[in-house]
Structure 1
Amino acid sequence: MATSSTSTIADIARHAGVGTATVDRVLNSRPGVNAETVQKVMQAVTALGAPAVLRGRPRLRDNFRFAYVLPAGGSHFFDQVERQIAQTAGDFRHQHITEVTYRFNAEDPAQFAADLAQVSDCDGIALLAPDLPSVKLAINEQVRAGVHVVTLFSDVAGSMREVYVGADNRAAGRTAGLLVARMAGAPQRDTLLLLSQATRLSAEIERRIGFVQVIEERFGRLRVLRAPDLPADDEGAYQALLQYFKQELDPVRLAGVYSVGAGTAGVVRALAELGLESAQGLVAHDFTEAHQALLISGELAYVLHQDIHYCVLTASRVLRGLCENVRGALNVVQPRVEILTAENFH
């Protein structure tokens, strides 16, 4: 017999052994949930009572505590995200949100997952993490414990996370492919170089897939050559790329370069040393201070960017909506992929 106590979506999710997003879909009769799972959710509703449907943004508590979890390391983008979280503190306070930021070592997936599983005393987690089985398990443990989880900038599909906040990374890779291919010059230059790190971030994997797709579909005369995973630091990327050119690639055939992740300054330095700074177009991601300088100098043709401030705030808005059982909390307008040049970033 159903109780008269006020249950929450998180209570029902724990009882049914599913994610809160699944409960939300079942209660709102949305597709995408199999019959067995629907039955489990409805049995939990019968046992616990249906949650109150709340409209708008009612305040059920005085304050919420959300954790932002980012990879550690020397990535300029990760550092920029951390700064943006700190700079958004005023907005968080106004919304009665306390934020805390953690940086875990993503080069050790097992340790990253263990650290993530130990994050406690919070109502929600906004997570930028490698897409690996151990991380998925850690996410699922948090969700089953009643903590809401959203992924930020890079998704961990197949986990019990409730929504992804960030740009369409496959579309970003396709955009990079169009830009690089259209800058390709003389016919003898028929090779596009694809550069990335061994981060295991799904964002970078999706960018690579999109890049290769659009080249194969639209630019048959060009071939994509993917270099071995580069170190994330500029000096390491510089040394590794120089060695790669000496052993694997004829510089005369290079038509363009797509840098998916970090180390762009090192890539620029290696190309300059080989005398290729004006013979190819270079596209990279994320509008950092280093990339701004490279745009101004002309060493970087385009930067693909997404609104970090918007994503950080949206993650907190979604988490708060989930905590308060607000209908429509999972409806997210994702940021566009912006194309920045030396002329339009001001």
Structure 2
Amino acid sequence: MSHPFLVKDIAFQAGLSTATVDRVLNGRPGVRRQTEMRVKAAIAELEKQQAGAGISGRTLVIDIVMEAPERFSNAVRSAFEAEVATFLPMVFRCRFHFAEVMKPSELVQLLDRIRLRGTHGIVLKAPDIPEIAAAVERATKAGITVVTLVTDLPNSSRAAYAGADNRAAGETAAYLIGSSFDGADARVLVTLSSGRFRGEEEREIGFRRVLRERYPQIGVTEISEGHGTDVATGTLAARSIAADATINAVYSVGGGNRAVLAAFEAAGRPIRIFVAHDLDADNRALLAAGKIGFVLHHDLRTDARSAFRAIMSGQVNGRSAPAMLSAVEIITSYNMPVVT
């Protein structure tokens, strides 16, 4: 496998031992396909960083750790990779650790491995549970700057939060749905990926508060623990639709929108209004096709920029950065921003 990099640099990028990387590079037996792919991905990432780092400067290694559906993880990866070039001569070397579903114990083990292996910063999207807060505390004590992304861990020692005001986003969704019914009775299917994420909980709190105060004639049916995946979310949605003939609107907090739409279509049930989050590839296509009405979007590149700045502040200046909120935009098929 031809490359211009030191084995130790590839190992650091891939999160593997130098001996394992050496076996892969020299085509020795006993290496799993997954390990080989990790080495190839690490070399590709190093090549990309080398191409964009023509100016010498300090290098900060950061690990982006997320439990999220692949469509959202892909959007986050693109945002962080795009923002890296804007910080030259400071160079950020990003290592991505994504999974659609992780047990808390697996996530804690991953965070501890990253801490022991060494990193300057961790950007973390994870459940707000004591085990994760404890792992963040261990990382902070080791001198690692931790920034939470899109969902916060306010009771942890994280340095900053990068993302939107989730409660305001939920309130905005309630306003859009409430206005569309103009005083008529309705019932909204609210889909959460998991009740463990504080960001989703805050969206739901904001949503329910505005409905309760301004649109009391609108009821809510909640589904959760589909983890934003199509199969699980679609099954939960179909079950709720079959049980309640009055459901005629959707507020998708946690994704799986194609599956939710398919469940309504299979049941022959119309949707008066569908409000979703995040302008990922799926939602772009659904907006363009008129399948969903609104996407509440915040710019992930802004979030990436905020995370980079917080880590720079922590590692270069030794100071914690304040919480940073990105603006929530209401996107329709008529004002979708162009992909750059």
TM-score band by shorter chain is: 0.7 to 0.9
Describe the SS at the equivalent of 2:209: helix
User: Which residue in the other structure is 1:145 paired with?
Assistant: 142
Counterpart residue identity of residue 337, structure 1? V
User: 103, 123, 134: which one pairs with 1:108?
Assistant: 103
CA contact (8 A) 1:107 1:199 kept: no
Aligned counterparts of 2:174 and 2:70: Cα–Cα separation in 1: 23
Query: What's the CA shift for 1:213?
Result: 0.8
* Pairing of 1:193-232 with structure 2 (within 5 A): 193-198=189-194, 200-232=196-228
Describe the SS at the equivalent of 2:79: helix
User: Which residue in the other structure is 2:83 paired with?
Assistant: 88
Superposed CA offset, 1:251-286 (max 9, x none) = xx2342101012011111112223333x41000100
* Pairing of 1:238-253 with structure 2 (within 5 A): 238-246=234-242, 248-250=243-245, 253=246
Describe the SS at the equivalent of 1:194: strand
Which structure has the higher relative contact order (CA within 8 Å, separation 6+)?
A: 1
Matched, 1:64 2:60: yes
User: Which residue in the other structure is 1:34 paired with?
Assistant: none
* Pairing of 1:1-346 with structure 2 (within 5 A): 62-71=58-67, 74-103=69-98, 106-119=101-114, 120-184=117-181, 187=184, 189-198=185-194, 200-246=196-242, 248-250=243-245, 253-277=246-270, 279-325=271-317, 330-331=321-322, 333-346=324-337
Superposed CA offset, 1:315-341 (max 9, x none) = 0111111112266x6145421111100
CA contact (8 A) 1:104 1:115 kept: no
CA contact (8 A) 1:198 1:229 kept: yes
Superposed CA offset, 1:285-329 (max 9, x none) = 0001111111111110100011101111210111111112266x6
Aligned counterparts of 1:256 and 1:64: Cα–Cα separation in 2: 46
RMSD between aligned residues: 2.1
Aligned counterparts of 1:174 and 1:333: Cα–Cα separation in 2: 19
Query: What's the CA shift for 1:155?
Result: 0.4
Aligned counterparts of 1:228 and 1:143: Cα–Cα separation in 2: 32
Describe the SS at the equivalent of 1:131: coil
Change (3 A) 1:206 1:280: same
- Is there any run of 5+ residues in structure 1 with no aligned partner, and where? 1-60
Higher mean alpha-carbon deviation, 114-123 vs 93-102, is at 93-102
Aligned counterparts of 1:322 and 1:241: Cα–Cα separation in 2: 43
Aligned counterparts of 2:324 and 2:132: Cα–Cα separation in 1: 26
Describe the SS at the equivalent of 2:207: helix
Number of aligned residue pairs: 279
- Is there any run of 5+ residues in structure 2 with no aligned partner, and where? 1-56
Instruction: Tell which structure's C-alpha radius of gyration is larger.
Output: 1
Change (3 A) 1:104 1:199: farther
